[in-house]
């Protein structure tokens, strides 16, 4: 470890104080919250925690039960996302929208209601994984601020992003909604976009999906099995960073179970989030997670039969959400309504009192969140906005530029326009590279540029042809082309949110489609000037063709301007700077430890996943000596960077390290380089990850320029979880020699190394802030008066006498295959079920009176 005068280190650390961001929750007037609670009826409290789905005829609700009201079947289903205003007490209902690529203004075939434009469009950004490849927290925060501005314009109060989940399996179907495989990296990027969304406290961000949501096809019931160390070192690490660095106001739980328990019903996981990690906002379920017809698989056709709860009723107790500490059951009142109604039925005084205490606590937390974000007051009337202008296009294009990764280049690129007279284009170049069509789908506003459009515009002086047939003329043109662009990869039918029977899901293989591989091999056999452009949600194995082509570019899902971004990079107008957020293995089995199934969703018994690996991806491969095709953090440039003069300094009396390194642009073109810092401890005796990313920064370097790059490392990010630290566990830094490695990618032979001696040190979790949740003492129970009046909670009848569940399950199971492809049909089916519920409820009531 190098030494520097104490005052010198202190000055540098002070100058870099913004590099390690720490965000606290804003103060809220607790007396205001308590006054509101005292005014509210039980029904009004309940409607803070869910959307009323009972559809009483006297009140136009769900699907608003009113197709002409902007929600419902004709309007795209706004009511699934709009909670109710309570003007009597001056509380606004929370309006929520996905998503990771921008705010959704269209659901299915219809536009959402005002102020969404009538055409259902909104600004659409590149997918989260493409933005991850930028390795720029500054850019991600700027995108978050833009999404927040868009949400505020649309009167959206809660933006359902970002996804914090990582990739223990590289073929997770929703990898495109992630930041890749590393929890530290995911935490830092996720915190950045949250800070942007929540800037100025106009819109709440929603970190999701808590916890260990890494399998798509069986996500509704599969159990992520892992030991406590894996839980904390890998799957909670990103959440700890997100909470401490950005203070997200909302967290969404996952569908899946962890260690056999659903996160939305087991207090263990919610207590960790609140009491250990310091989360002080409101928690919601994922949509329909508490509906047993979903978690039991009854409405999911043959897929659902693999659920261990198939055909079982009552396996999620009515009061379990409130008891676990979950505040909002989304979208509709089901378990929450039943729990409160049962409490009012006066069955067990102690249990009834506890349920109503939980309701008060949940309502109080939601009111606190609303108070922080200006939702206590009068609602506003909105007219539809006109079509969006193009003011966001520059940011969308910049994100696509910085997210494209040049994986291979043997002197073919860049290829300026004047150097190309004949350009052959093959593959899916006429399609927009937008990604998932599930909950994160956005109908783009502004310009749309496909790969073919972008190439024709950039190389407008050349003969640019889309080759779709194998005629003699086409083969001759491909053979003589100065540049051949093969645009291949995946779409929403192969990977993405799984909506049975045939939409999205986990990737079936990590290679390209066999048809695409054959196309590449055929073309490469007649022309060496080939660049393969890959669209996918995560890394793709390229061994079948990597030695036959001169260049490979990975795009992720670059969004509506992806074609322009690609053309700019090919021509050299933009120097590529993207770095892969996941390692690219040579074989599928290289990514995981031996014995870990490669496709956990395809096992005979898929209700329980195999033990989640402690190390996966680049960490596992680093430890095992398995060489990747492209390491984690890999990405080429049109210029060359060299690293020198690495120094690491300890913060005197503090918990940080200062890393200094000289980076030189030794080429002839300006470029952005990502400087990465990793840490290892070869001699540590306690179990820990073999290598961890602990810092990164993106810097601009002009030709021949040298910069001293300064990075701060927080020692808690070097520590490993130890259950014996403090009362609840935390990080433990074992005494020993630690190597800090700095360079352009997680590849040992290109990294500079410096050894630092560190002492034993404990890092407790930050814990809950002192101003969090007020506690309700037992003596306060006396103000809950148990009155056996079912009408206090509208429309409830005892579960054992209400045939609604069986009716919906039976109807949906038969009609879902027809409804899967059409939002309108789905809405119609559910509307019919809703109407039938009223009929059944009336018959039950009539039967009671008769008896």
For strands 530-535 and 551-556, give the pairing.
parallel
Looking at per-residue pLDDT, the higher value among 326 and 13 belongs to 326
In this prediction, what percent of the chain has a pLDDT beyond 90?
Answer: 71
In this prediction, what percent of the chain has a pLDDT beyond 70?
Answer: 83
Sheet strands side by side (includes 692-701): 692-701, 671-680, 736-743, 752-758
Residue 255: phi and psi, rounded to 5, are -75, -45
Residues 667-696: tens digit of each pLDDT: 999 999 999 999 999 899 999 999 999 999
726-754 average pLDDT score: 92
Task: Provide the pLDDT for residue 5.
Answer: 52
Task: Provide the pLDDT for residue 115.
Answer: 93
Task: Provide the pLDDT for residue 607.
Answer: 53
Task: Provide the pLDDT for residue 822.
Answer: 46
The mean predicted confidence, pLDDT, of the chain is 87
Q: Per-residue confidence at 17, pLDDT binned at 50, 70, 90?
A: low
Looking at per-residue pLDDT, the higher value among 770 and 573 belongs to 573
Q: Please, which residues have CB within 8 angstroms of residue 7's CB and are 6 or more apart in sequence?
A: none
CATH architecture of 641-764: Sandwich (2.60)
Residues 604-640: tens digit of each pLDDT: 555 555 689 999 999 999 999 999 999 999 999 999 9
Task: Provide the pLDDT for residue 4.
Answer: 55
Residues 419-433: tens digit of each pLDDT: 999 999 999 999 999
**C-beta neighbour count of 211 within 10 angstroms:** 26
How far apart (Å, rounded) are the C-alpha atoms in residues 470 and 27? 67
How far apart (Å, rounded) are the C-alpha atoms in residues 582 and 745? 11
How far apart (Å, rounded) are the C-alpha atoms in residues 337 and 360? 14
According to CATH, the topology of domain 393-624 is: Rossmann fold (3.40.50)
Residues 242-270: tens digit of each pLDDT: 999 999 999 999 999 999 999 999 999 99
Task: Provide the pLDDT for residue 15.
Answer: 58
Domain positions in the chain: 393-624, 641-764
| 110: nearest Cα among 833, 834, 827 | 827
- Cα–Cα distance list, 454 to 316, 401, 413, 430, 435 (Å): 52, 13, 17, 10, 18
pTM of the predicted protein model: 0.91
Residues 494-551: tens digit of each pLDDT: 999 998 877 899 999 999 999 999 999 999 999 999 999 999 999 999 999 999 999 9
Omega before residue 501 within 30° of 0, cis? yes
The residue behind tokens 């002080």 is 280
Q: Give me the sign of the Cα torsion angle 440, 445, 447, 450.
A: positive
Report the largest interatomic distance among the alpha carbons of the chain, rounded to a whole angstrom. 91
Q: Which region among 320-324, 333-337, 395-399, 823-827 has the lowest average model confidence (pLDDT)?
A: 823-827
Give 486's strand partners.
426, 532
pLDDT at 734 over 70: yes
Residues 60-108: tens digit of each pLDDT: 333 333 333 333 332 346 778 999 899 999 999 999 999 899 999 987 6
561-569 average pLDDT score: 98
pLDDT at 57 over 50: no
736-755 average pLDDT score: 97
Q: Please, which residues have CB within 8 angstroms of residue 635's CB and are 6 or more apart in sequence?
A: 133, 405, 406, 407, 576, 577, 578, 579, 580, 674, 745
């Amino acid at each position: 470890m190098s030494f520097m005068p104490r005052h010198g280190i202190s000055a540098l650390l002070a100058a870099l104080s913004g590099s390690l961001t720490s965000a606290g929750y804003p103060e809220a007037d607790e007396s205001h919250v308590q006054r509101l609670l005292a005014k509210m009826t039980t029904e009004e409290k309940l409607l803070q925690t869910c959307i009323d789905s009972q559809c009483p005829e006297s009140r136009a609700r769900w699907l608003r039960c009113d197709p002409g009201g902007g929600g419902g079947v004709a309007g795209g289903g706004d009511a699934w996302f709009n909670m109710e205003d309570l003007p009597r007490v001056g509380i606004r209902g929370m309006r929520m929208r996905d998503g990771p690529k921008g705010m959704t203004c269209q659901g299915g075939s219809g536009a959402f209601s005002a102020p969404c434009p009538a055409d259902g469009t909104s600004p659409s950004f590149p997918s989260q994984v493409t933005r991850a490849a930028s390795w720029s927290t500054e850019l991600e925060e700027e995108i978050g601020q833009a999404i927040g501005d868009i949400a505020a314009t649309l009167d959206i109060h809660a933006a359902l992003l970002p996804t914090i989940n990582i990739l223990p399996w590289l073929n997770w179907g929703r990898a495109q909604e992630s930041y890749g495989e590393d929890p530290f990296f995911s935490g830092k990027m996720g915190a950045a976009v949250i800070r942007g969304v929540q800037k100025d406290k106009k819109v709440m961000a929603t970190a999701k999906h808590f916890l260990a949501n890494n399998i798509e096809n069986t996500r509704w019931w599969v159990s992520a099995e892992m030991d406590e160390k894996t839980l904390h070192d890998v799957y909670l690490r990103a959440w700890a960073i997100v909470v401490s660095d950005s203070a997200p106001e909302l967290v969404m739980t996952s569908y899946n179970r962890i260690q056999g328990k659903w996160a939305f019903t087991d207090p263990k996981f919610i207590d960790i989030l609140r009491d250990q990690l310091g989360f002080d906002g409101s928690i919601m379920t994922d949509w329909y997670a508490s509906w047993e017809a979903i978690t039991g698989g009854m409405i999911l056709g043959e897929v659902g039969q693999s659920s261990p709860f198939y055909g079982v009723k009552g396996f999620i107790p009515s009061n379990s959400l409130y008891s676990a500490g979950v505040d909002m059951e989304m979208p509709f009142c089901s378990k929450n309504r039943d729990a409160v109604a049962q409490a009012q039925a006066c069955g067990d005084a102690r249990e009834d009192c506890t349920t109503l205490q939980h309701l008060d606590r949940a309502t109080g937390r939601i009111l606190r969140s609303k108070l922080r974000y200006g939702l206590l007051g009068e609602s506003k009337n909105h007219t539809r906005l006109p079509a969006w202008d193009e003011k966001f296009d520059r940011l969308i294009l910049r994100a696509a530029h910085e997210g494209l990764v040049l994986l291979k280049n043997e002197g073919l690129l860049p290829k300026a326009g004047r150097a190309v007279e004949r350009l052959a284009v093959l593959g899916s170049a006429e399609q927009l590279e937008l990604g998932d069509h599930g909950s994160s789908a956005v109908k783009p506003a502004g310009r749309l540029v496909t790969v073919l459009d972008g190439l024709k515009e950039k190389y407008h002086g050349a003969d640019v042809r889309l080759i779709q047939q194998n005629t003699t003329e086409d083969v001759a043109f491909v053979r003589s082309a100065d540049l051949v662009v093969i645009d291949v990869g995946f779409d929403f039918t192969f990977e993405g949110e799984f909506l049975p029977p045939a939409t999205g899901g986990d990737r079936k293989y990590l290679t390209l489609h066999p048809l695409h591989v054959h196309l590449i091999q055929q073309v490469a056999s007649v022309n060496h000037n080939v660049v393969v452009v890959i669209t996918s949600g995560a890394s793709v194995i390229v061994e079948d063709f990597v030695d036959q082509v001169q260049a490979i570019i990975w795009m992720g899902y670059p969004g509506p301007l992806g074609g322009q971004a690609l053309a700019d990079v090919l021509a050299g107008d933009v120097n590529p700077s993207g770095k892969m957020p996941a390692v690219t293995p040579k074989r599928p089995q290289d990514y995981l430890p031996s014995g870990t199934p490669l496709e956990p969703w395809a096992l005979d018994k898929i209700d329980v996943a195999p033990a989640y690996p402690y190390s996966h991806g680049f960490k596992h491969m680093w430890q095992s000596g398995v060489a990747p095709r492209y390491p984690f953090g890999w990405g080429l440039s049109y210029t060359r960077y060299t690293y020198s003069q690495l120094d690491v300094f300890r913060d005197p009396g503090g918990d940080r390290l200062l890393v200094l390194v000289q980076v030189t642009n030794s080429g002839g073109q300006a470029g952005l380089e990502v400087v990465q810092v990793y840490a290892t401890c070869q001699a540590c005796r306690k179990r820990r990850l073999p290598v961890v990313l602990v810092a990164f920064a993106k810097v601009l370097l002009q030709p021949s320029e040298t910069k001293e790059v300064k990075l701060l490392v927080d020692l808690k990010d070097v520590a490993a979880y130890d259950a014996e630290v403090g009362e609840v566990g935390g990080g433990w830094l074992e005494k020993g020699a630690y190597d800090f490695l700095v360079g352009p990618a997680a590849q040992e032979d290109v990294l500079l190394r410096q050894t630092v001696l560190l002492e034993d040190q404990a890092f407790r979790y930050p814990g809950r802030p002192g101003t969090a949740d007020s506690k309700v003492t037992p003596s306060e129970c006396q103000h809950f008066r148990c009155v056996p009046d079912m009408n206090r909670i509208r429309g409830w009848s005892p579960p054992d006498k209400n045939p609604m569940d069986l009716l919906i399950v039976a109807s949906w199971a038969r009609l879902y295959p027809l409804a899967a492809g059409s939002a309108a049909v789905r809405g119609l089916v559910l509307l019919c079920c809703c109407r039938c519920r009223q009929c059944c409820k009336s018959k039950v009531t009539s039967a009671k009176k008769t008896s």
